[in-house]
Structure 1
Amino acid sequence: MINERRKRFGEHLARLRRNTGKSQRQLAELLCRIAGTASVTRHEISRWERGERVPDVWLQPLAAALQVPLDDLERAAAYARGTTSYTAAPGPAEPLSVLLPEDGEHLGPLADAGGHRVGASTAAALAARAHGLRLADDVVAGGDLLAPAFRELNRAVRLYRETTHTEDVGRALLAGIGEIAQIAGWIASDAGRHDQAERAYRLGVSAAREAGDAALVGHIAGSLAYQYANTGREDEAVSLAHAALEEAGPDAPARARALYFDRVAWAHTMAGQAQLAMRALSQAHEALAAGEHEEAPLWAYWVSPEELDVMDARVYTELRKPLRAVPLLHEVLSRYDAAHTREFAFYLSWLAVALVDANEPEEAARTADHMLSLTADIASDRTTARSRVVLAKLEPFRDIPDVRDILDAHAA
């Protein structure tokens, strides 16, 4: 357990360093200047970030160099050493605290706020607006929804800070902020605005925690883990996806736990950890089946056996198991709501790749043509990136007329 804690601390430290734009060597030189000694090297920084060692006397210079509160860094380091105020047997929230420290907007009321009083109906309206954004995201791409989503998020934060309300209504408002932050982050990620998405997700985690909604915290943190997995931060994705699952706990609703396990599976897939990915897929199906008739949060409305099958097929494709992926994708797509154009095209991209791996380049080309025609006018960075993946996958088969036609038609 201590090794895993050190690894998480190291990843946290590496992320803080990258956020300042410094290399390991530059950080070492800055630490030496702050401390007035030349006793720390790039190699020592590397050991800290790999989790081989946990800094002690260097914590204060590190806090100054990385521009973070010393108390936060000390608590994280103490947790990594297992000797701390984080207790010898930490609760599930603590790993996420290490991985995702608070850096979002403060959600407390304004000091001079004397706004009007709001009640449960206002909180319900906020939750309804969050769900309206989710339903819009089903059919509208991120580039078109980005501005409205962040206007809603800003309004929600102002509503909470500039009004008075009971404690129960305050928690409901915070949960509404968390839900809007999650879908706003998802929309920003789809639009390719990953830094903006991460800020929204962090704000959402803060709000959901203050609301005491552990299941929502897990959902938001898992969304960020999914983004990490898709943007070259696979190790962080694995750690954060597991932390999200732990934070939500075993009593989270079944659909939510299925979603958490799917995100764990995807993180392991992108990290090249096939056995762990396959195990998490199985756990997702088990979780959903165990609570088939259980009430679920509204934000989990879309989690279904069909969506789990899609994730199975995507994992199989990434792990080069096309004989498992192709029939599953054909089956799911035959029943998929074509009104959800972006997601339909997104899943077609995996089918095209799996068909290439199955040595069916002509059928892959036809699938790619369908996918590319659907995405021509969609303002989604995710589908644009998948289009490039599909075309690159087809390139080795350019000598085949059907493939060459597709490649030439979409050369731009």
Structure 2
Amino acid sequence: MPPPESSGPPLIGPLIAQLRLARRWSQPRLAAELCAVSDVPTLGRHEISRWERQLRVPGDFWLGWLAVVLAVPVALLVEAATRTRSLGTAPAVVGARSRSALLALAQRWLLDPGDPSFAAATGWLPPTGPPTGAGAAPPTGVPALPPTGAGEPPPTGVPALPPTGPVDRSAEVVRLAELRRLDDLSGGAELSGIGFSWLRRVARASSEATPVGRRRLLPVLAETAQLCGWLAADAGAPTDALEAYRFGLRAAGAAGDPALAGHLLGSASHLLASVGDPHGALVLARTGYAGCHTVASPRLRALLLHRIALAAALGGRHQPARCALAAAQRAADRVEEGREPPWLYWVDGPELAAMTGRALVVLRRPRRAVALLGVGQGSGRPRSGAVYGGWLARAYLQLGEVEQACAVADDALLDAVRAGSPRAVTQLTAVRRGLAPHRHRQPVRRHLALVAAAGPYLPRPVTGSRPDPTDRTAPPVGNGGADRPGTPARRGPGGRTGSSVRPVGGRPNGGRAARRTDGRAATHSETG
């Protein structure tokens, strides 16, 4: 089964890194070669690093000299730079640099899954995550977890914090499965602190282990990072989530597990789609699918195709979305129970049906969406009930059935209170906007009164999370001063006038990078 459309030309960062490594050059060596041919002595390895991480995009001047030094057609580099700029900037709720770094890493993984730098990077300590869970102040309305001493049982329904001492792989797998099951019932605001403490413990154990022991821990490290990213996103901390996904992708690449790497990229795609970045979401979903579909199980292929369908639909690309939905159905028909990875236990028939219904709502095909979204209602998972209930209410609104939409939204609102998940509230906000033109009707007035009464009990995104660790104000680019007032413009190969180095968003970077965003708003709009 072919993937639904090509993943497109490479992005500029991974392309420069690939061409540099093919010549066995270091970043300082590439900088020196560029300085020699361009007669600009101030370009350093730090600027090469920024290009490869896509914190900035080289302008026409450096693209021309890169083509000369790396012996490739300049059109190839221009196309890659254009595609990178077309991704735009991250939404205000997501750290722009975390997003750009993940997009670049995803392209590197697709171009060279066996990149040895993945193994070296897993020795880094992972992101700290949002300050929730034991030992940190909980968000409003969530009780703090009492400390768990040696030999004392944890609070009811909450898994014990990771013990000190050696990490046992089998025990960590069991603990991870328990935390996944608990995520079905509790919100990320309560669980993300516990998840990140596990991630840091496994990362330390991996960095201190023997080569054989480290190899055994890498899949656990990648899976833990994926779950931490999911929990952080559910807690309303998307920048922490992107950092966890990026760390997990490195671990999955080092472990040689393309299926888990594809799942990480699919999870990150889901996050970007839900915060208003369908273009970035589509790139990540297609990259994940392209990199693992030949080895992925049918259920994973179906899940990634649903990620593609949602991102394409949200971006207004309806034909690719419909093709992806059809391919997802074919993959789901081939699922064999007992042969799927354990971390996909939740992707069952009702979940896949609800994902299809959600995409059909975006495609404005509400009649079929109503039938599919109703399959998963009453599953006993409050977050699923709240999220997909919101989509179902929107489908009824598209059909003009306002009273039925209000009834479904009432049930979804109560599920959102039970779930304790900021993500579960997102769709209900969209439903209220859809109900606004009908606010004079009695069912709508009753629903809005219920919303007001439930307000104090609805979960809110975590506050006080750490800033985007890579989103610092950058120093001026060392480009020879041609971007300063009064300095003559430089000329690239063939006499072209150079342009300034630009960030991913395409704005001229005349001295300082974009200021960081807080990255702390509610995120996901669906459970899968």
- Report the TM-score range of the alignment, normalised by the length of the smaller protein: 0.7 to 0.9
Partner of 2:236: 192
Q: How many residues are paired up? A: 343
The CA distance in 2 between the partners of 1:409 and 1:106, in whole Å, is 50
* C-alpha contact 2:386 2:425 (8 A) present in aligned 1: no
Q: Given the superposition, is the C-alpha separation of residues 291 and 366 from structure 1 closer, same or farther in structure 2, using an over 3 Å criterion?
A: closer
For residues 91-129 of structure 1, the C-alpha deviation after alignment (integer angstroms, 9 at most, x for no partner) is x9747469xx9899932399xxxxxx97xx922222222
2:404 to 363, 367, 374: 363
> What pairs with 1:289-368 in structure 2 (closer than 5 Å)?
289-293=333-337, 295-333=339-377, 336-338=378-380, 340-368=381-409
Query: What's 2:63 paired with?
Result: 56
User: Are the structure 2 counterparts of residues 129 and 361 from structure 1 closer, same or farther at C-alpha, using a change threshold of 3 Å?
Assistant: same
Aligned to 1:137: 183
Is the partner of 1:331 in helix, strand or coil? coil
Match of 1:406 in 2: 447
Q: In 2, distance between residues paired with 1:53 and 1:292?
A: 52
Cross-structure match for 2:122: 107
How much does 1:53 deviate? 7.3
Q: Would you say 1:126 and 2:172 are equivalent positions?
A: yes
C-alpha root-mean-square deviation of aligned residues, in Å?
3.8
CA distance in 1: counterparts of 2:390 and 2:370, whole angstroms: 11
**Are 2:50 and 1:4 aligned?**
no
Distance change (3 Å), C-alpha of 1:267 and 1:54: farther
Residue 437 (structure 2) aligns with: 396
Normalised to the residue count of structure 1, the TM-score between the two structures is 0.74
| Distance in 2, Cα, partners of 1:10 & 1:109 | 21
For residues 331 and 224 of structure 1, the distance between their equivalents in structure 2, rounded to whole angstroms, comes to 26
For the residues of structure 2 that align with 1:196 and 1:177, how far apart are their CA atoms?
16
Q: How does 1:191-340 map to 2 (within 5 A)?
A: 191-293=235-337, 295-333=339-377, 336-338=378-380, 340=381
Cα shift at 1:222: 1.0
Counterpart-to-counterpart distance in 1, 2:285 and 2:61: 23
Match in the other structure for 1:63: none
- 1:206 corresponds to which letter in structure 2? R
Contact 2:7–2:283, Cα closer than 8 Å, also in 1: no
Identity value in percent: 32
For 1:156-179, what per-residue CA distance to the aligned partner results, in whole angstroms no more than 9, with x for missing partners? 101111233x52x42230000100
Change beyond 3 A, Cα 1:189–1:105: farther
Query: CA shift at 1:319, angstroms?
Result: 1.5
Distance 1:227 1:2, change over 3 A: closer
For 1:96 and 1:236, locate their aligned partners in 2 and report how far apart those are by CA, in whole Å: 16
Change (3 A) 1:320 1:78: closer
Counterpart residue type for residue 8 of structure 2: E
Which has the larger share of helix? 1
**Counterpart mapping for 1:28-39 below 5 A:** none
The separation in 1 between residues aligned to 2:312 and 2:243, in whole angstroms, is 24
State the AA in 2 paired with 1:365: C
* 1:35-184 equivalence runs, <5 A: 56-57=63-64, 80=80, 94=108, 96=110, 106-108=121-123, 122-164=168-210, 167=212, 169-184=213-228
* Contact 1:306–1:332, Cα closer than 8 Å, also in 2: yes
* Aligned 8 A contact 1:365 1:406 in 2: yes
CA distance in 1: counterparts of 2:388 and 2:60, whole angstroms:
43
For the residues of structure 2 that align with 1:367 and 1:140, how far apart are their CA atoms? Answer: 22
Give the Å deviation of 1:195.
0.4
Considering Cα pairs closer than 8 Å and 6+ residues apart, tell me whether 1 or 2 has the greater RCO: 2
Structure 2 CA distance for aligned equivalents of residues 266 and 57 of structure 1: 38
- What is the identity, as a one-letter code, of the residue corresponding to 1:56? L
Could you say what secondary structure the match of 1:332 adopts?
Answer: coil
In structure 2, do the counterparts of structure 1 residues 371 and 59 end up closer, same or farther at CA, with 3 Å as the change threshold? farther
Give, as a single letter, the amino acid of the residue that structure 2 aligns with 1:252. Answer: A
Answer whether contact 1:262 1:280 (CA < 8 A) is retained: yes
Larger Rg: 2
2: distance between equivalents of 1:195 and 1:384? Answer: 19
Q: Is the 8 A contact 1:254 1:294 kept in 2?
A: no
- What letter corresponds to residue 122 of structure 2 in structure 1? L
Mapped contact 2:410–2:450 kept (Cα < 8 A): no
Q: Which amino acid aligns with 1:337?
A: S
How far residue 79 of structure 1 moved from its aligned partner, in angstroms, is 9.9
Cα deviation per residue 1:322-372 (whole Å; 9 max; x = unaligned)? 111112222332xx422x111111111111111111110011111111111
Q: Contact 1:285/1:305 (CA < 8 Å) preserved in 2?
A: no
Residue 185 of structure 1: SS of its match in structure 2? helix
Does the aligned pair in 2 maintain the 1:104–1:202 contact within 8 Å?
A: no
Matched, 1:386 2:386: no
The aligned counterpart of 1:376 is: 417
- Residue 28 of structure 1 corresponds to none
Deviation at 1:240, TM superposition (A): 1.0
Which residue identity does 1:248 align to in structure 2? Answer: C
* Paired amino acid for 2:379: D
Distance in 1 of aligned mates of 2:348 and 2:265: 20
> What secondary structure does 2:375 align onto?
helix
Q: Note the C-alpha offset of 1:377.
A: 5.0
Q: Please, what TM-score do these two structures have when normalized by structure 2?
A: 0.58
- Note the C-alpha offset of 1:296: 1.1
Q: Deviations over 1:216-262 (max 9, x none)?
A: 00001111111111112211111110110111131211111111111
Residue ranges of structure 1 left out of the alignment (5+ in a row): 14-31, 36-47, 61-69, 82-91, 111-116
